[in-house]
Structure 1
Amino acid sequence: MGKNQHVIPHPAGGWQVKGEGNTRATVRTATQKQAMDIAREISRNQHSELVIHRSDGRIRDKDSHGHDPFPPRG
């Protein structure tokens, strides 16, 4: 399983996709939608989780593309 992909605001404007634990962005885009599309493709290829943040940095949504157990435990 690959690194979780985060869609977060870029300090200089726009949005960026960063792999969890990375110091540098994988890609920087003008819109959140563009960043989400790229991050979704990466997370599908790596079977990891996509974490989308709001402009204030809080988590807005998560989408898992890994091998989740079915039925879920709990």
Structure 2
Amino acid sequence: MTARTEYHVVPEAAGWKVEHGSTVVGHYDTKENAVGAGRDAAKANQPSQLVVHKQDGQIEAEHTYRDDPFPPAG
């Protein structure tokens, strides 16, 4: 299976940002806008995964685009 490109939507001091590894893809005023931008980036760079974090940093949701390992083997 090909490695997936991961994007993370995470909180920051003045809103939300989308990260790809250690690179910040963009800064957004709202979580909704950050999730939308992250989804667009993930869909454009498949196979990929979008990981959305809550304000406290914990994972809220994960979205996989192409090559979803569900149902998991085993």
**Whole-Å separation in 2 of the counterparts to 1:69 and 1:31:** 30
Q: Where does the alignment leave 5 or more consecutive residues of structure 1 unmatched?
A: none
2:25 is aligned to 26
Greater CA drift, 63-72 or 49-58: 63-72
> Shift of the alpha carbon at 1:35?
0.2
**Whole-Å separation in 1 of the counterparts to 2:54 and 2:37:** 17
2:67 is aligned to 67
Q: Where does the alignment leave 5 or more consecutive residues of structure 2 unmatched?
A: none
2:49 is aligned to 49
**Whole-Å separation in 2 of the counterparts to 1:45 and 1:59:** 22
1:14 is aligned to 15
- Pair 1:69–1:60, CA change in 2 (3 A): closer
TM-score under structure 2 length normalisation: 0.83
Aligned to 1:25, the other structure's residue is in SS state: strand
> Shift of the alpha carbon at 1:13?
1.6
> Shift of the alpha carbon at 1:68?
2.4
More strand, by proportion: 2
**Whole-Å separation in 1 of the counterparts to 2:63 and 2:69:** 15
- Pair 1:35–1:70, CA change in 2 (3 A): closer
**Whole-Å separation in 2 of the counterparts to 1:30 and 1:70:** 33
